[in-house]
Amino acid sequence: MHSYRPRSQVVSTTIDDDESVLLHLEAQQYYSLNETGHRIWQLLTRGRDAGAIAAALAEEWALSEAEALRHVRSFLQELEEANLVEETSGDKTV
State the alpha helices, DSSP H only, in the chain.
35-45, 50-61, 65-81
Q: Which domains are assigned to the chain?
A: 9-85 (1.10.10)
**Alpha-carbon torsion, ordered 35, 21, 2, 57, to 10 deg:** -10
**Sequence-distant (≥ 6) Cβ neighbours of residue 82 within 8 angstroms:** 24, 29, 31
What digits encode the pLDDT tens for the residues 19-67? 999 999 999 999 999 999 999 999 999 999 999 999 999 999 999 999 9
pLDDT interval class at 7 (50, 70, 90): very high
Confidence tier at 94 by pLDDT (50, 70, 90): very low
| Residue 90: predicted pLDDT | 54
Q: Check residue 84 and report its DSSP letter.
A: S
What's the CA gap between 80 and 18, in Å, rounded?
A: 22
